[in-house]
Amino acid sequence: METKRCLVLLPIGVTRRKEGPTFEAIYQHLLLPALRATGWPLEIFRGDEVMRSGMSVEEGRRWLQTPHLVLADVTTQHSGVLHDLALRDSLAAQTILLSQNSADIPARFRSYRSILYNLTEAGMAHLYRALDQHLGEILQQAPLATAASRATSSTSGGQ
């Protein structure tokens, strides 16, 4: 199966978040393991790692529209994440929003797939299950053998 590109958009720098882990920690210890546990062949990029300052709007728009899917955490309504989502608006069907608070999802993006998560054991288990379900809907070209290995991988990864 073809490797799919996944762009992860997260707040960087100062946010209005007052407590809890940094978004870097959420990316490293929650989102990356959850994406890998789905068993889909993903090449995962973090937005701030690949987008450089000085990139033209057209270059940025092309890059945002080339991944097969985007996972965007809108917790804190970080302006950079919201800007990147707006550029990718025409491909909303391939975008999954994450948030720790439903009030952080702007009205403009409420029709997108979304996962509300929290940093409890149950909340993280919910994130794993919901992410696997949404990826299946977006990347549904999996052959049966790959689907079986995904089921085995996500079952063992969620324990």
**What ranges do the domains of the chain cover?**
4-157
The segment with the largest mean pLDDT, out of 55-69, 93-107, 144-158, is 93-107
Cβ neighbours for 90, distance < 8 A, ≥ 6 positions apart:
65
Full-model pTM: 0.75
Residue 98: its pLDDT value, please?
A: 94
Nearest 5 degrees, angle CA 119-CA 76-CA 54? 120
Residue 84: its pLDDT value, please?
A: 82
- Four-way CATH pick for 4-157: 1.20.58.110, 3.40.50.620, 3.30.70.890, 3.40.50.2300: 3.40.50.2300
Dihedral sign from CA coordinates of 131, 134, 139, 140: positive
